[in-house]
A and B are shown apart, each in its own frame.
Chain A
């Protein structure tokens, strides 16, 4: 029987076995699945693993997540306060960097795998690996060094430091974030993650000018990824647009998979990438809250046909699906992606 892993490997080679891989990024929804509050749900790796497996069985998509919420990365750095909601993702509430002197003192944790704040994630990965390892791709989410400061000091202060702050302070922070990244990706790989989503909104020209992208984002991307290599790495710009930088990242860094934003033109993404790497067609999942299943199906058709019209190194995906999306829309989306994502040529 074809597994999700087989589908992904085929897509990477430009082939479709039965249908394209369908990635569905359900995170907070796991709490509902287990009948827990979001805060309780995220307190245990067992919960996350159990719900991820349950949801994957129920909806039939092609991936599971070891990500709890992005703020966990700040917790690894010492963040003590997370703001929980009853109907949405947890957020970092206290920023560990309050002023530039804090950057000086910022300590990159020594051994991430042994870090108490990593323990639940490791537990989750262990269960996922045992239950679905080798069959369903296990995803991990890692924030790039250029974007991580946003949850250590806030978007506002990071933008200010980046644009008008002292260069040596900026670079010191980036270096620490990059050191952290290198350890983090190694820890995730060792714990069994297959797909390493490299999240870098500051690697999109929706967020920063092209010049800064070329001068800084590329440089730090190379440094982040250099020791561990590019195996399993997906370039994801946080839901922002990717097209203007995709070619540069392929040529300069050579990542093998790309995750455009929902506002990118998918056919254009595929043409730019032009068979040099795998590319996702990404739905605007915020609209999934209000669309009817019929509208969802039409939109999936547009995306999947728009991608496959260029070549088959293609898969379907969502961004960070809002908690409130009705299940019938999730089902309609996945069904449609499989239906329109079938091979026509054998």
Chain B
């Protein structure tokens, strides 16, 4: 039964049909599927499947990433209200647009995917100075700083991700906080994340989820080693 729900839900998501996806979920709940099952055995495996398909070259568009993330976040939020006990938070992420950059859609998509995976995200908004990325990451015990930049000068600029890296270095935080970047310039130049000294980048919102989860895991492993 759950398999059918997963299949129908995924199809609706890829069709960018939010109404149908939500209907499938509420029908399943009405038939006795628990909210926990919906999140952990429908929504999250759905995202995993998409990550896998993308890594195998499956072609998607921006609207699909937007809808995948919105539906996943909507469903999760709704289901969480009726969880028996609060779920375990996997990690913390602060995300924002680089200094001088006012674009918001990229981070919104990434945030939706992360939330559905029980990662707590703090949205720092747009035009975020490097210092703020670092201080907020510390204040929220974040394992990952996400910087979104839609133009070349905000992606590569000396006050953007590069400065975040410098601050992390200067403050000896590199084993505790990973730097992940994304946005159009990184898609046109897959080597660019190295130029700005980020630990990782992602081509789209759904892949960002996997990349960020890996970074969180790495920091947690470092934590164990360090103490």
Q: List residues of A whose CB falls within 8 A of some B CB.
A: 83, 85, 87-89, 91-93, 154-156, 159-160, 162-164, 205-209, 212, 239, 262-263, 284, 286-287, 289-290, 322-324
Contact = CB atoms under 8 A, between A and B. Distances in A.
A289 B152 contact: yes
B188 A88 contact: no
A56 B157 CA distance: 28
Contacts of A93: 102
Measured as residues with beta carbon below 8 angstroms from the partner, the interface class of chain B is: 20 to 34
B156 interface: yes
15 contacts: A83-B100, A85-B154, A87-B153, A88-B100, A88-B151, A160-B66, A163-B67, A207-B62, A208-B62, A209-B16, A209-B63, A286-B189, A289-B152, A324-B153, A324-B156
Contacts of A85: 100, 153-154
B102 A83 contact: yes
Contacts of A208: 61-63
A262 B61 contact: no
B63 A155 contact: no
B152 A322 contact: yes
- Majority secondary structure, A binding face: loop
A162 B188 CA distance: 26
Interface in B4-31: 16, 18
B104 A156 contact: yes
A286 B185 contact: yes
Contacts of A262: 188
Interface of B: 16, 18, 61-64, 66-67, 70, 100-105, 108, 127, 151-154, 156-157, 184-185, 188-189, 192, 195
A67 to B, nearest CB: 16
Given A164-B70, A207-B63, A208-B63, A155 B188 contact: no
B38 to A, nearest CB: 20
B188 A322 contact: no
A83 B100 CA distance: 8
Sorted nearest first, the 3 A-B pairs with minimum C-beta distance are A88-B153, A322-B152, A156-B105
A279 to B, nearest CB: 20
A163 B104 contact: no
A155 B195 contact: no
**Among A83, A89, A164, A262: residue with most chain B CB under 10 A:** A164
A323 B102 contact: no
